[in-house]
Amino acid sequence: MSQTASRRVVLEPSAVEVAFAWFQRLMAVYCLLFGAFYWVRLIGIYPGVLWRFDLMPVHWRIATATLAVFFPFAAAGLWMLASWGPVIWFICAATETVMYAGFPQLFGVNWPIVAVHAVVALIYLIFRVVLYLQKRRERQEMTD
């Protein structure tokens, strides 16, 4: 067997890469649901002050309109496994975290949403570290 034949590159994704792809797709569904939630607020399906755009205070109008666009956009990027999908999700998560944790007097306190964003970010970070270490190990094996 020649030396080039023994150094074949494996193109099959690892189990971690497959799990990460499924995780991103799950995040996409979650972003789509959040986006739909904000669109429901924009179009005023439910009665109530904060459920109709024309009755919302200005700070809620800005936040709702922004997140109604960004969450579905993040969902599309995450579903396609595009590199910009997690970036847009991070913008959405940071926006909601600042809304609910930074300005509770304006937006109220919603710790479950802040906690969900923190858990998702932690899981994403763990996946990225594991994938980095896996790629580094593969590169070391190829050079040995």
Could you write out the DSSP letters of every residue in 46-112? S-SGGGSGGGS-HHHHHHHHHHHHHHHHHHHHHHTT-THHHHHHHHHHHHHHIIIII-HHHH---HH
Query: Are the C-beta atoms of 93 and 120 separated by less than 8 Å?
Result: yes
Query: Are the C-beta atoms of 86 and 24 separated by less than 8 Å?
Result: yes
Could you tell me what percent of the chain has a pLDDT over 90? Answer: 74
Closest to 125 measured CA to CA, from 133, 102, 31, 38: 133
* pTM for the model: 0.84
pLDDT tens, residue by residue, 37-69: 999 988 878 777 677 888 889 999 999 999 999
44: left (phi over 0), alpha (psi -120 to 50) or beta: left
Half-sphere exposure (Cβ direction) of 74: Cα atoms closer than 13 Å: 27
Q: Give me the pLDDT at residue 41, please.
A: 86
Q: Give me the chain's average pLDDT, please.
A: 91
Residue the block writes with tokens 């595009």: 82
The identity of residue 120, as a single letter, is V
pLDDT of residue 138 exceeding 80, the answer is yes
If you average pLDDT over residues 25-45, what whole number do you get? 93
Q: Give me the pLDDT at residue 52, please.
A: 83
Query: How far lies 143's CA from each of 12, 102, 132, 136, 140, in Å?
Result: 20, 49, 17, 11, 5
Q: Give me the pLDDT at residue 92, please.
A: 98
Residue the block writes with tokens 């970070």: 125
Q: What does the chain come to in residues?
A: 144
